[in-house]
A and B are shown apart, each in its own frame.
Chain A
Amino acid sequence: MEVFIQQLINGITLGSIYGLIALGYTMVFGIIGMVNFAHGDVFMVSAFIALVTFLVLTTWLGIGSIVVALLIVLIVAMLLTSLVNWAIERIAYRPLRGSFRLAPLISAIGMSIFLSNFVQVAQGPRVKSIPPFFNEVIVLMTRDDGYEAAVSYKQIVVWLVTAALLAVFWFVVTRTALGRAQRACEQDQKMAALLGIDVDRTVSITFIIAAALAAVAGTMYLTYYGVVSFADGFVPGVKAFTAAVLGGIGSLPGAVVGGLLIGLVETMWSAYVSTDYKDVAAFSILAITMIFLPQGILGRPDVEKV
C-alpha cells in the first residue's frame, strides 16, 4: 500500500510535467494542424535557460531565498523560451503555412535536430546537475520494514505551480478575447480572418503560450530532478505527445488528463514491472491509442466528408 501511494505521488508529479508539455503540442496542433516535432526540444531548452538563470541568481547575485530565486527563474524562463518559440515559428513554420503538409513536418524535425545539437555544442555534452534543495519530506505512511511513503516539498512545489499556471492558462483561453480568437482560428482559419482576426498574430501568440507552458515544465523538471541534458528533449517530448494524443489531440483538458495518465502509467510500470521497458510502455500506448481510439479519450471523432 505504501509503495502504491508513493508511486501515485510520483506519477502525479511526473504527469504534471508531461501535461504542461502536452498542452503545447495540442494547442499548436489545434490551431495550425501541425505536430510540432521541435516542442520537446523547446522544453529541454527551457530547462537549460532555467538552469543558467538559477545559477546567475544563486552564484552571481547571491540570492539566498530559494523560493524567490525559483519565482524569478520561472518568469525569466517563460519570457526567454517564448522568444525562442516565437522565432522558431517565424523562421521555420510560417513560410510553410498553407497546403503543404510534409514540408512543415520536415522543417520541424530539422529544427528539433538543430536545437538539441545547439545546446550540445553551446553547453557541452555532459549532464548538468545542481545541488538539491527543498529536500524535506512529509511522511504519510510507514511500512513495517521502514519504507516510507512520503511527499517531498519539491513535489508539492511542482503541483502548486502547475495548478496555478493551468488556472491562469484556462482563464486566458476561455475568458479573454485572445482565447476566443484562438478558438476561432482553430475552428476555421479562413472565416476567422474574414471576420478581422489577425491569424498570424494569433498563431504567434499560441506558440508563445505553448512555450511558456513548456518553460514551466522545464523549470519544474529542473527543480524536481536537479539534472538536465541536451538529450532530454526527445523522449519526454514523445511521451508528452503521447499524452496529448491519448487525451484527444486538440482538446486542452485532454492534454492534462493524458499527461497525468502517462505519468502514472510510467511510474507504476517502473515500480511494478520493470524499469527497462518503461519507454516501450509509453510508445506502445501511443500506438494502441492511435489504432483503436484515434480521437483520444476526450476528443471528437474525425469523420471524412465524401
Chain B
Amino acid sequence: MAAEAPSSATRIDVARALREGALAGLIAFGLFLPLIGFNTVQNIHNELVLETRWPLLAAMVAIMAIGRFLYALLVAPWRARLALRPRPEQVAVAPWRAALGRWVVPCALGFAVVYPPLALSLAGVQGAVKWIDNFGVQILIYVMLGWGLNIVVGLAGLLDLGYVAFYAVGAYSYALLAQAFGLSFWILLPLAGCLAAFWGMLLGFPVLRLRGDYLAIVTLAFGEIIRLVLINWVPVTNGYAGISGIPRPSFFGIPFNASDEGFAARFGLEFSPIYRTIFLYYLILALALITAALTVRMRRLPIGRAWEALREDEIACRSLGINTTNTKLTAFAIGAMFAGFAGSFFAARQGFISPESFTFMESAVIVAIVVLGGMGSLVGVAVAAVIMIGGTEIMRELDFLKIVFGRDFDPTQYRMLLFGFAMVLIMVWKPRGLIATRDPSTFLKERKSIAGSHVKEGHG
C-alpha cells in the first residue's frame, strides 16, 4: 500500500489543499448548521423558538476548513513521504527500551504506594482528600474493574458488554446484607464476590455458546435488565432512591469517626476525614493488586493458557479435548467475582448506592479500558484506566478555562463529549490497543514477545 502512493501525494500542493479545505468547510457547514447554528429555547410563553449562533457556527466551520487546509498542505505530504521510506524488519526491542520496560512496573507500584503521603504534603489535608479520593480511589476502582474484565475480554476473548451487572450485584448484595445482618465489611466482601461469581455462572450458562457480536449484545441486554430490575423492584432495592446508610468499613474493628473509640482518638490524632480516605485508598490498592497477582498466576496455570487458546481458536481447543464451555464459564465467573469485590468496595466507600451508578455507560467505559489496554496486558489496562478516568476527572479541575471562555463556561459539561470523542480517536489511532505485544506464559530458553499481528482478538 505504501509503495504505491503516487509521487504527487508527497508534494506540497496549495491548490489541492485549498480545495480540500473548502470541501471540509462545506461539509462542516452542513453538519453543524442545524444544531449549532440554531438553538432551540423556550420563551416566556413556554413555546419553543429558535435562536441563532452564527458566530459560533462560523468559527467552527472556519476551524474545520483551515484545519483541513493545513493538514492537506503540510501533514498529508509528510505522511506520504514517511510511508515511502522502507520499513525495517521487525527488530528486537532496543536494549534501553527493554530496560525501561522492566522498571515501569516497580516504579508505578512505588508511586501508587507513596501517593497518599505525597498528596498530603503537596495539597495539605483539605486538598488531599479530593486528590486521594476522586483521583486515586476512583482510578483504582476502574483499574480493578479493568483487570477483572481483562480476564473475560482480554484473555478469553469473550466480548462482555454487561460487566456492570456484576459490579451492581456486588454493591447491592453488600448494601442489603450489611443492613439486614449487620455483618462486617471483611466478611461481606468475599461473600459479595461469591454471589457475583454465582451470577456470572448463571448468566453465562445460556449465552456462552453464542459467538462474537451475538454474545456482546446478549450481555448488554442482561446488564440493562439487571439495571431495570434494580430500578423497578422497589420493595427490595428502593428503586431510584437507592440504598443509603450503608455501613462504612472500619480499621479492623475501629470505626473512623470522631468518637473516643474512633480511629483518630485511639491513635492520638486529631479527627479528620482524611484517615478513612487513606484507608480506603490502600484497601482498593490491595484489592486491585490481588486481582493482578491472581491473573498473572492463572495465566501460568492450565486454565489461563486454555483461556488464551480459546481466544486464538476455539475449535482447535475442542479438538484437543478441552471443554470450552467450562473454560468460558470459569472466565466469566472469575471476572464477575472481581467485579463483585469492586462493587462491595464501592458501596462501602460511598455509603449510598443507586441504579444510576450502574448504567451501560459504565460497562462501555470498562470495555473501552480493556480494549485500549490491548492484548490482555495488565500494564496496558492500568495505563488505559489512568488515561481515561484520570483524564475525565482532570477536566473538573480546569476552572482556569473560565478565564478564556467566560463565566458561563462549564467544563464538566464537555467531559463526556470529549470522552466519547477520545474513544473514537484512540481506537482509530491504536486499534489493537496501547500494548502491541503479548508475553508468553512459559518459555523454554528465553521469553520473546509476540507481535500483535499474530494474536487474535477472539470470536466470543
Would A and B touch once assembled, by the CB under 8 A criterion? yes
- Report whether A56 and B50 are in contact in the complex, using a CB–CB cutoff of 8 Å: yes
Nearest-CB distance from A62 to chain B (Å)?
Answer: 13
Residues in A with CB closer than 8 Å to B401 are none
Against A, the Cβ 8 Å flags (1 = close, 0 = not) of B352-372 are 000000001100100110011
A111 CA to B417 CA, complexed, in Å? 9
- Report whether B413 and A130 are in contact in the complex, using a CB–CB cutoff of 8 Å: no
- Report whether B420 and A117 are in contact in the complex, using a CB–CB cutoff of 8 Å: yes
- Report whether A280 and B427 are in contact in the complex, using a CB–CB cutoff of 8 Å: no
- With A113-B364, A290-B207, A290-B217 already in contact, the answer to whether A103 and B427 are too (CB < 8 A) is yes
A101 CA to B153 CA, complexed, in Å? 12
- Report whether B47 and A106 are in contact in the complex, using a CB–CB cutoff of 8 Å: no
Using CB atoms, name the residue of chain B closest to A33: B213
Against B, the Cβ 8 Å flags (1 = close, 0 = not) of A38-56 are 0000000100110111011
**In the complex, chain B residues 202-237 whose Cβ is within 8 Å of any chain A Cβ:** 206-207, 210-214, 216-218, 220-222, 224-225, 228-229, 232
- Report whether B417 and A55 are in contact in the complex, using a CB–CB cutoff of 8 Å: no
B183 at the interface (CB under 8 A from A): no
A100 at the interface (CB under 8 A from B): yes
A107 CA to B423 CA, complexed, in Å? 6
A271 at the interface (CB under 8 A from B): no
Residues in A with CB closer than 8 Å to B222 are 283, 287
A112 CA to B364 CA, complexed, in Å? 11
A306 CA to B319 CA, complexed, in Å? 10
B34 at the interface (CB under 8 A from A): yes
Number of interface residues of B (CB under 8 A): 60
Residues in B with CB closer than 8 Å to A291 are 206-207, 210, 218
B82 at the interface (CB under 8 A from A): no
Nearest-CB distance from A143 to chain B (Å)?
Answer: 30
A49 CA to B40 CA, complexed, in Å? 11
A294 CA to B218 CA, complexed, in Å? 10
Nearest-CB distance from A180 to chain B (Å)?
Answer: 26
B271 at the interface (CB under 8 A from A): no
A287 CA to B205 CA, complexed, in Å? 13
A45 CA to B32 CA, complexed, in Å? 11
**In the complex, chain B residues 316-362 whose Cβ is within 8 Å of any chain A Cβ:** 360-361
Q: List 20 A-B contacts (CB under 8 A).
A: A52-B40, A52-B50, A80-B33, A83-B30, A83-B31, A101-B212, A103-B371, A106-B423, A110-B368, A111-B420, A111-B423, A114-B421, A124-B40, A128-B40, A238-B221, A279-B228, A283-B224, A290-B217, A291-B206, A304-B211
Given contacts A91-B428, A106-B372, could you give 18 more A-B pairs where the C-beta distance is less than 8 Å?
A35-B213, A83-B27, A87-B27, A92-B427, A100-B457, A102-B457, A106-B371, A106-B427, A111-B424, A114-B417, A114-B424, A120-B413, A121-B414, A122-B36, A280-B232, A284-B221, A284-B225, A290-B207
List residues of chain B with CB under 8 Å of any chain A CB.
27, 30-31, 33-36, 38-42, 47-50, 153, 159, 206-207, 210-214, 216-218, 220-222, 224-225, 228-229, 232, 315, 360-361, 364, 367-368, 371-372, 413-414, 416-417, 419-424, 427-428, 431-432, 457, 459
